[in-house]
Structure 1
């Protein structure tokens, strides 16, 4: 696999919380969250927030 020299892969830990009527996916390394009606939706929104521009 060829990667750009400035890119680095880093494992990310995600904690899920059931908060009121929403799920929260919390990336512990970056203290970012994604919220949604399901765990999958919360994780998708978190993944979008972590994606490089």
Structure 2
């Protein structure tokens, strides 16, 4: 889980833990970084679902 680069010149990086706020308030992120963050979250969700089934 790494930082996401921002399109905003004032804020260069968004911490992974703050992505929910960035998305909630419409903060524009670099597409490739946002896609990577979504992939990490999907992997985490899949892991949680597997663990709950056991």
Work out which structure has the larger RCO, using CA pairs closer than 8 Å and 6 or more positions apart in sequence: 2
Higher-strand-fraction structure: 1
